[in-house]
Amino acid sequence: MLSLELDLFEHLAFCWKHFEDDGLNGNNVQKYLDRAAGRVLIVGSGQGLVASALVKQGAEPVCIDCSHSMARYARERFGIETEVINFIDYEAGAECFDTVLVNTGVLYPAFLAAHQQHFTKKLSFCLRNGGRLLLCFFQLTDFDSTVEEFRLAQDREQLIDIWNYLCDNGSLVQFLRVKFRSRQGIDYLLQRHQTELREYEEQIRNAGRAFMQIEQRSASDPKLYSFLQRSLPYVCYGIPRKEQLELFDCLSNLGFVIERLDSKDKLVVVLLKKESETHK
């Protein structure tokens, strides 16, 4: 599913500035960046916002990302150079980094899938003993707090239907919403990603029809539209608690200990320290 997910991320590039601001401006990522000492690797560097913040501190981060589009945006926006490669395939020397930062989106279960152990072992391999690992990811949002945030309690029943729909359909819905708003668009999606999506064909067609109905309902309601805009990335890319625990369990087995965990709004930032050499 990686090519589909990358396609999705690239088509969503125009809206990520808002969520980058959520993560950096006065939030809990910025205060960790001064701890990114020594040689720094950013996995999933995206449009370059975090890398640019580190450069301002005098660091020279090494940036990798799977997306050619994101690498281009990082160069155009911040002058950040990015190696376009999957971290699984990235050739890093043993203990060659003092800090590794894994950016939002990389830990999304659809990316890791069956590669979680390989991914975490590689993190351990390229990070020196005593080095820091900084993980940033979205958590699945609580419906009631999101409704309260947008003061939409009077529309709660309608929002429950929409929220359940979004949670059930995940990133397929977001992908449809961004680019594919017609029968022809859905056919194009299925053709372009035929191998990946063959078993989901009926679900995609149903999702397309249902979401177009939701869009029609929200077109005349700015509050509802805002709710959808803000909710989609968290619903689609939030990491369920079960997957969070599995990830931390893998890292614990590799000698990592959690030094600090912050959760503000819907963004989680976890600082871990590699205490023992376990990759050999």
Domain segments of the chain as ranges: 2-140+239-274, 143-236
**pLDDT at residue 46, rounded to an integer:** 84
**pLDDT at residue 1, rounded to an integer:** 42
Whether the Cβ atoms of residue 84 and residue 66 lie closer than 8 Å to each other: yes
Dihedral sign for Cα atoms in the order 76, 77, 81, 85: negative
In 3D space, the residue among 158, 156, 197, 157 whose CA is nearest the CA of residue 176 turns out to be: 197
Using DSSP, state whether 40 is helix, strand or coil: strand
Amino acid, res. 42: I
The length of the chain, given as a count of residues? 280
Pairwise CA distance, residues 175 & 2, whole Å:
13
**pLDDT at residue 223, rounded to an integer:** 72
Prediction pTM value: 0.71
- Express each pLDDT in 150-160 by its tens digit: 666 556 666 66
In sequence order, what DSSP letters do the residues of 237-268 get, joined into one string? HPBPHHHHHHHHHHHHHTTEEEEEEEEETTEE
Asked which of 58-62, 78-82, 175-179, 262-266 is least confident by mean pLDDT, the reply is 175-179
Q: DSSP class of residue 221?
A: -
**pLDDT at residue 133, rounded to an integer:** 94
- Express each pLDDT in 12-43 by its tens digit: 554 455 445 444 443 456 677 766 778 999 99
Residue with more model confidence, 186 or 76: 76
**pLDDT at residue 24, rounded to an integer:** 46
- In 10 A of CB 167, how many CB atoms? 16
Pick left, alpha or beta for residue 87 (phi over 0 → left; psi -120 to 50 → alpha; otherwise beta): alpha
**pLDDT at residue 235, rounded to an integer:** 61
**pLDDT at residue 170, rounded to an integer:** 55
- Express each pLDDT in 204-260 by its tens digit: 666 666 666 666 766 677 777 676 666 665 665 677 777 888 889 999 999 999 988
Using DSSP, state whether 212 is helix, strand or coil: helix
- Express each pLDDT in 92-129 by its tens digit: 888 899 999 998 778 876 667 668 889 999 999 999 99
Using DSSP, state whether 34 is helix, strand or coil: coil
In 3D space, the residue among 35, 17, 20 whose CA is nearest the CA of residue 273 turns out to be: 35
Please give the torsion angle defined by the CA atoms of residues 20, 259, 252 and 139, in that order, rounded to the nearest 10 degrees: -30
Mean pLDDT for the stretch of residues 7-11: 53
Question: If one looks up domain 2-140+239-274 in CATH, what number appears?
Answer: 3.40.50.150
Mean pLDDT for the stretch of residues 176-188: 54
Whether the Cβ atoms of residue 122 and residue 89 lie closer than 8 Å to each other: no
Place of tokens 């990592």: 256
**pLDDT at residue 132, rounded to an integer:** 92
**pLDDT at residue 25, rounded to an integer:** 41
